[in-house]
Structure 1
Amino acid sequence: MNRRCFVVNLKGLIGYGEGLVLQEKAFDKVVSGKADGILLLLEHKPVFTIGRSGGKENLLVDEKYLKTAGIELYETNRGGNITYHGPGQIVAYPIFDLKNWKKDLPWYVTCLEEVIINVLKDYGIKAGRKPKYRGVWVGDKKIAAIGIAVAKWITTHGFAFNVKVNKDHFNFINPCGITEFSVVSLDDFVKDVNFDEVMEKVKDNFSVVFDTNFKEASRKWLESN
């Protein structure tokens, strides 16, 4: 299928609220038929987000402390529990009309996991899945979290992949409500990891896994009517 798909690589640190607005812009473009899919790639400013499954009980510090630490807190409409986004983490928001791929949410989430598993394979790292928990794991340590939302078969939200992230911030929560396992980052395995190189590999693997040629697009295009 010849799909009209675009990738927008957003530069600098993006606030979470700003990211939600940009997702809405992308959603509007897809729902109006101007694109079949738009992939947003970015880094967020430090933020904890709480999904539809809740997660406030898994926040281990009070909100006053978060303010002093410079970390925002948001409740969102994605699936899943509490998670962290911050600098050194690749966040991917695929705004895809699944009617142009497959109307199958487990298939879609498995594809998101496959993108990251393939990137890690490029670095000689064997990663996989856990039957009970979504996301990508290296052994018993989580390297990427996934949480999505879907309306009219159009996806929003996506994944957060730890590349050179400050893992100390994960100590303020039970990530995704999980207490028996910990988190890990790509730079734990790869010395002098190049963030931009990893971002390119994420882009390339989206093209492979979703069998789609993504054209580069600008933020200006994304925000235009």
Structure 2
Amino acid sequence: MTFKIKDFGRKDYVETYNAMRNFSENRNFYTDDEIWLVEHPSVYTLGLSKKTEHIIDVGDIPVVATDRGGQVTYHGPGQLVVYLLIDLSRRSYKVKKLVSLIEASVIEYLKESGVNAERKLDAPGVYVDNQKIAALGLRVKKHRTYHGLALNVDMDLMPFKGINPCGIKGMVSTQLIDFKRDITLNEVKQGLSKYLLRYLDQTSTIISDVA
């Protein structure tokens, strides 16, 4: 089985959301799994567990309701969003294990970058000194996953103050640039993709730039 890695560059959230839903609904047993690398213009997204009390002050940033798990989060320029389009019926792991593998991939990539990160049992994602650096939210339909993770790289963190990120009051967000000053988004794309493939047990990749 082959993973196709596609780099979409900067792309509108709603357009991407519709595209991954369409991909998941129309794929078949022989369709390659895909990893999409995307950077979005500023947008708040709501998961299925959304509660209005977690939306504090979003200003003029658009808010989009989605079908992923979780609460509210923010996407914006300088953040790497990774969508994981996987057919679990062909894999040796189920959803809970997949979440663990994704978190481990981020943690090991950050470790390589000189950043000590960890996961929390009661709050999916990855944290550095109790500050959230990566958010995680998936949707599984007919054994097919979509949505994925968002890693803060070099972005304006102020919009996170307009929400309770992932429904956690007082949660502080951080980013990779604060720990590794010379990092670039393209370097993160390459490095994190390597660890995702390693943990998801893949040895062959097709990397395509579709921006």
Q: TM-score, normalised by structure 1?
A: 0.88
CA distance in 2, matches of 1:128, 1:59: 26
Q: 1:93-112, aligned counterparts within 5 Å?
A: 93-112=83-102
CA distance in 2, matches of 1:4, 1:193: 29
Tell me the alpha carbon deviations over residues 6-28 of structure 1, each in whole angstroms, 9 at most, x when there is no partner: 111102x2111111122134324
Q: Give the aligned length.
A: 210
CA distance in 2, matches of 1:124, 1:4: 30
**Alpha carbons 1:55, 1:176 under 8 Å: kept:** no
Q: Percent same amino acid among aligned pairs? A: 31
SS at match of 2:154: coil
Name 1:9's counterpart in structure 2.
7
**Alpha carbons 1:5, 1:35 under 8 Å: kept:** no
SS at match of 2:159: helix
Structure 1 residue 209: Cα displacement: 0.7
The one of 17, 21, 24 equivalent to 1:20 is 17
More helix by share: 1
Letter in 2 for 1:199: K
Name 2:206's counterpart in structure 1.
215
Change (3 A) 1:123 1:116: same
What is the root-mean-square deviation in Å for CA atoms of aligned residues? 1.6
**Alpha carbons 1:39, 1:95 under 8 Å: kept:** yes
SS at match of 2:201: coil
Q: Which consecutive residues of structure 1, in runs of 5 or more, have no partner in the other structure? A: 221-225
Structure 1 residue 181: Cα displacement: 2.8
CA distance in 1, matches of 2:181, 2:118: 21
Q: TM-score, normalised by structure 2?
A: 0.93
CA distance in 1, matches of 2:18, 2:209: 15
**Alpha carbons 1:94, 1:157 under 8 Å: kept:** yes
**Alpha carbons 1:43, 1:87 under 8 Å: kept:** yes
Name 1:201's counterpart in structure 2.
191
Structure 1 residue 74: Cα displacement: 0.4
Change (3 A) 1:36 1:48: same
**Alpha carbons 1:187, 1:193 under 8 Å: kept:** yes
